[in-house]
Amino acid sequence: MKRACAVVLALGLVLPTAGVALADSPSPDALPGVTQQRRDSGGKPAGCLPPSTRSTALTPWPQTFLRPERAWPLSRGEGVTVAVVGSGVTDGAGLLAGRLDHAPRLQGAGDPAQDCVGHGTFLAGLIAADHRDGTGFAGLAPRARILAVSVTDEGGGSSPDLLARGITAAADAGARVIAVGVALPSGNDALAASVRSARAKGALVVAPAGPDATAGNGKLPPAYPAAYPEVLSVRDLTPGGTLPEGTLSGRVDLTAPGDAVMGPGPAAGGYYTGAGPSFATAFVAATAALTLGYHPTLTPDQLTRRLEATAYRTGDPAYGYGTVDPVAAVTRLTAPDPTPPPPST
C-alpha cells in the first residue's frame, strides 16, 4: 500500500486573502497528516484524529479568493452528487446533514462512514458543508450531495487496484463529479480503465497533480490518476496566489487554493487547516458541482472545457489553464474552447 501524505494543523488563525497583512498570532498546533493514521513514537497506531477545539468567525481566505457567494443566487450545487474518493466521510459536525451517502465498503478499504484520519471529511466539507452561525466557513457548493467512497485502509494507505474499484463504484452510483483525494506514484491498467469508464458514464474525475507534501522535495514524478488524460489535474496555490515550493513534473490543468485551507474534521468541534493539491482538488470539484447545478446538461468534455476556458489565466505554464473561477464558470452563458496553456519549458 502506498501512502498519500498531507499536512494538517489544528486551527489557530485563518490566513486572509492575498494582499492583506497577516496578524501576529501563535503558531497552530501541529497534527499528523490527514491521510495518515496517528502513530506513537514506536510507530504503532495511536488512534483517530482527535476533535479540534479551535474555531474562528473569520471567512477562510479560499472563500474570499474564490467568491462562491456571487454564484450562489444561480447555483449552490443542488441536484449534483460529488463522490469523495479517499478515507471516507464522518459528518460528526452535521455540516452535510441530509446530503451524505456512503458507498458499500470495498474489500481492503476501511468503512466509508468511519473516517479515522479525517482527510475525506475535510475534503467533503470544502465541497459541500453548510454554513453555521459563528463561523465564516462554508463549502463552495453547499447544497451538493456527497457520496463517500473509501479507498484507503485505516492508516490512509491505498493502491491502484483499490482506487480503481472506488472510482468505478462512484461512477456506478451516478456521481457527476468524482473528487479523488489520493495521489499515487504509479497507476495500472485497472486504474486507467476505471477512469475511462467513469468519463464514459458521465462523470468528471478530478485529482491532485501531486502528493500533498511537496515543499522541498525537488521535482516529483507524475501522480496517478491525475496523469491520465481523462482526469482534470489540479495544483495548489498559496494565500499569495503563487505556487508552493516543489516542482511537479506531471500535467497541470487548473490551480486552486491549497495552502492554509480551513475545513472540518470527523468529530464535532472546531476546524483544522491543511495544505496540498488534494485540497485544491476539492475546490475544483466544488466548482464543477456549482456549474452543473446551473448547466445540468453539460457532458464531462463540455464541463472540462468550461472550467478551463473560464479560469483566470496567468500565462505561466506551471498554472495550466489558470486558476479556477467559480463565478465565471457558472455565469458565462457560453464558454469557448479554452486557449491551450503555453508550452512547459
d(CA 125, CA 255): 19
pLDDT of residue 165: 98
pLDDT digits (tens), the chain, 345 positions: 444 434 343 332 233 333 322 223 333 333 344 455 555 565 555 667 888 878 788 899 999 999 999 999 999 999 999 999 999 999 999 999 999 999 999 999 999 999 988 999 999 999 999 998 888 899 999 999 999 999 998 667 899 999 999 999 999 999 999 999 999 999 999 999 999 999 999 999 999 999 987 555 567 788 999 999 999 999 999 998 899 877 778 899 999 999 999 899 898 888 888 899 999 999 999 999 999 999 999 999 999 999 999 999 988 999 999 999 999 999 987 766 787 776 654
DSSP string, 36-50: S--B-TTS-B--SPP
d(CA 334, CA 309): 10
238 belongs to a structural domain:
yes
CATH of the domain at 90: 3.40.50.200
Q: What is the pTM of this model?
A: 0.88
Residue 160, CA atoms < 13 Å, CB-side half-sphere: 16
Closest listed residue to residue 295, CA positions, set 78, 130, 69, 63: 78
336 belongs to a structural domain:
no
213 belongs to a structural domain:
yes
pLDDT of residue 271: 87
User: φ and ψ at 103, to 5 degrees?
Assistant: -70, 160
C-alpha cell read off for 291 = 456549474
d(CA 311, CA 320): 10
72 belongs to a structural domain:
yes
For residue 3, give every residue at least 6 positions away whose Cβ sits within 8 Å of its Cβ, in sequence order, or none.
35, 36, 155, 156, 157, 158
pLDDT of residue 216: 54
d(CA 257, CA 237): 5
pLDDT of residue 73: 97
Report the 10 Å Cβ neighbour count for 337.
Answer: 9
pLDDT of residue 250: 87
Containing domain of residue 284, as a range?
62-331
48 belongs to a structural domain:
no
Cis peptide before 225, with omega less than 30 degrees from 0?
Answer: yes
pLDDT of residue 134: 80
In sequence order, what are the beta bridge partners of 254?
234
240 belongs to a structural domain:
yes
d(CA 307, CA 254): 8
159 belongs to a structural domain:
yes
Helix axes 189-200, 160-172, angle to 10 degrees: 10
54 belongs to a structural domain:
no
Look at the chain and report how many structural domains it folds into.
1
pLDDT of residue 174: 98
pLDDT of residue 123: 96
Instruction: List helix spans (H) across the chain.
Output: 61-66, 119-128, 160-172, 189-200, 277-294, 300-309, 326-331
User: φ and ψ at 48, to 5 degrees?
Assistant: -90, 170
d(CA 275, CA 339): 29
